[in-house]
Chains A and B, each alone.
Chain A
Amino acid sequence: MLSIQHISKQFGPVKALNDVSFEVPNGQILGLIGQNGAGKSTTFHSILNFIQYDGTIRWQGKPLSPADFDTIGYLPEERSLMTKLTIEQQIVYLARLKDQSAKDIRPRIDDWLGRFAVKGTRKSRINDLSKGNQQKVQLICTLIHHPKLLILDEPFSGLDPVNADLLKQAILRARDDGAAIIFSSHDMENVSALCDQLVMLRKGDMVLHGTLAEVRNQFGKTELYVTTDWSADRLATLPGVGRVDLRQPGQYLLHLTDPAAGPTIFAELTQGHYIEEFSQQPPTLDEIFRMKVSEDHA
């Protein structure tokens, strides 16, 4: 388990992290969300001891030491490889630094290239690969030694939906193998699809923490999805409705000022008759993200 307790980091006058605490148990995925400059990469750099920080970070109950390096898989935010090497040379070199033998790694390379649908052979030079394929090779370098702690900084950036799906499968496989995984992303859909828990940072402060359900439920079931022949103006007169958004003709999203108004609205809207859609839900992660960001701007 990765345990982060009360870590803070200051860069000159800027507070990059302020008393951040969370845990990532083995076999679980934690998503780290936040705007640019929120402190996501600083958190990763603190975990990896790249920078000095205040607070405690423990991996499997002990401070992270060079002895743990071989069990870590790290994908930095900015992609970079040794462009003059071939795919095989690059993978073998980085795997050997993770204490893997070249003899063990070489037979696995073709399988991994196939798994990520890399356009190129093991003898292709990194320089000759497209940006997307270079990114996939870097992902292979991060995963091929079966890390127990996986740290992925914006792993989905630059990947098309097909390749993003391939990456999701690889992350889920690593989780099933018992790895503790922490990754950052701006794409809330990926976070919702993968994470067991999430943390949102805003200017170094931890503003959200919990499972996806816990986080969403913190905001109450304030979103009501209905399909009806009522007009938007008429829907706005219902009790507890703050705002009405038209989704599609006949389909609306009602923003409730009071989640308890749900049953009353249901009774008035249906009048005891069949209604195609009536779904009261907490806000989506995307909406929560926007809400939290706008709180800061307010």
Chain B
Amino acid sequence: MHKTWIVTLETYLRQIKSWSFLFMVIGPFLMIGLTVGISYISANSASSSKEVAVISTSKPLRRAYLRQQTDNLNTRITTVSAAEAAVKKNHLAGYLQLSESHQQIRADYHGSSRMASGLKAQTQNFLQQYQQARNYQQAKLTAKQQRLLARTPVLQQHIAKKAGTANLAKTISFWILVTMIYIILITYASIAAQEIASDKGTKIMEIIFSSTTATSYFVGKIGGILLVILTQIIIYLVGGWAGYQIALNSTAVKPLIAENQSLIDAVLHNLLNLNLVYLFLGVIIYTILAAYSGAVVAKAEDASKAAQPVIMLGMFGFFATFPFQNNLDALFVKILSYVPFFSSYFMPMRIINGTVNGWEQLISLLILLAAIALFAGYIGSQYQRLMLQTDNRSFWQHLLHGWRHQD
């Protein structure tokens, strides 16, 4: 155990200290930071020219408009000449001139381009309400008559709920989860295969196998790679949490979050539960398979070739989920949610959808754990023979030889 830990630590530190790990981890943060930064700069540079001034000879009319509508309005400019000058200098997108003549409300927009659709809709809404109030006042209607005239038709949709159908929160959770599994798997399958194959190339294995058992060394290597994966997941979780906190304190994003709070809560709930365990265990079993593939290659340069079967299997699992997003009751989904290598994709789908009970989850998890233990044990027992094989047999010949000679 002590020597396993030494190998784990050495593998972990070597990976963590590499530039490729640093770029891999900070890459998404850099992308997000860059996108936010560019959006912010672009928003700031455009902020002045997005504003619209409201001009009116009727102070009550202008006040009523400003009470209802505040976004992107310039309240400092109050005259047509000042507004025209500001539009010319590109400090204003335009100005809205409100007027009232013979109980008729009128709005004229002057700008270098058409009104923004949101502002147009809100302005029309304001004009409608204001004109209606004026009309009622003019017609001297009773309160009851006013209520009757204000009555509008109702359109409501009634959708029958189907057990296997995913709603928006489930769909988002599903996509985040399977994409995370897929990306981590693709990335680390190559890393694991390369890590193991590079050992084989150096032949330092003979020295190591005169110091510790092959099983202990193999488990140590896998442990080191898994610690790297865990580190990346933790960095993303902490980074995601920090980003969420920043967003909560941002005046620009806060309303958007508040508007979608229930959706965000539901997605987080779907992700931060047993599904995270499935994600991790799924990555473990694929990493072990990738390491095995790395062990059967003859040269380090063949490592990427060795990782291909693992990547293909991972891709198959990933793409096989697509047709079943809205049909989670299918027998195929139920079966694959118990089959190692696929359960990491299919069981989280069922958990997210709430169509699987605790016992079924436990059985699937135990099958996955047993498969990992058996698989690691088998490869550990074959590892020394595989790593010391240095002939020129092809990848497939090695694979067949590995299965035939399980001594």
Binding site for B on A (CB under 8 A): 45, 48, 50-52, 66, 69-70, 72, 74-76, 78, 80-84, 93-94, 96-99, 141-142, 151
Contacts and interface: CB of A to CB of B under 8 A. Distances in A.
A103 B268 CA distance: 46
A75 B206 CA distance: 9
Q: Chain B interface residue count: which class?
A: 20 to 34
Given A52-B407, A74-B207, A141-B207, A82 B212 contact: no
Contacts of A96: 3, 6
Contact of B207 (A83, A94, A99): A94
A232 to B, nearest CB: 51
Given A50-B209, A74-B210, A97-B212, 8 more contacts: A45-B388, A50-B206, A69-B210, A69-B211, A76-B207, A80-B207, A83-B202, A97-B6
A94 B10 CA distance: 11
B14 interface: yes
B204 A80 contact: yes
A2 B354 CA distance: 65
A84 B3 CA distance: 21
Contacts, number: 55
A293 B211 CA distance: 35
Interface in B14-38: 14
Q: Which 5 residue pairs are nearest across A and B when measured between Cβ atoms?
A: A97-B211, A74-B210, A76-B206, A80-B202, A80-B203
28 contacts: A50-B206, A50-B209, A50-B384, A50-B388, A52-B407, A66-B212, A66-B213, A69-B210, A69-B212, A70-B211, A72-B210, A72-B211, A74-B206, A74-B210, A76-B203, A80-B202, A81-B204, A82-B204, A83-B202, A84-B14, A93-B6, A94-B208, A96-B3, A97-B3, A97-B6, A97-B7, A97-B212, A99-B3
Interface string B114-145: 00000000000000000000000000000000
Contact of B210 (A48, A82, A93): A48
Interface string B44-81: 00000000000000000000000000000000000000
Nearest to B212: A97
Contacts of A48: 206, 209-210
Given A69-B211, A94-B211, A99 B2 contact: yes
Contacts of A51: 388
B9 to A, nearest CB: 9
Given A50-B384, A50-B388, A98 B204 contact: no
B204 to A, nearest CB: 5
Nearest to A81: B204
A286 to B, nearest CB: 29
Contacts of B212: 66, 69, 97
Most buried by A among B14, B206, B212: B206
Contacts of A78: 203
B209 to A, nearest CB: 6
Interface string B374-395: 0000000000100010000000
B197 to A, nearest CB: 14
Contacts of A81: 202, 204
Contacts of A94: 207-208, 211
Contacts of B6: 93, 96-97
A141 B210 CA distance: 12
B218 to A, nearest CB: 14
A66 B213 CA distance: 7
A131 to B, nearest CB: 14
Nearest to A138: B207
Most buried by A among B6, B210, B213: B210
Most buried by A among B7, B207, B208, B213: B207
A81 B207 CA distance: 9
Most buried by A among B3, B6, B204: B204
A121 B28 CA distance: 39
Contacts of A142: 207
Contacts of B2: 99
Given A48-B209, A72-B210, A80-B202, A93 B10 contact: yes
Nearest to B203: A80
Interface in B356-407: 384, 388, 407
Contacts of A97: 3, 6-7, 208, 211-212
A50 B202 CA distance: 17
Nearest to B6: A96
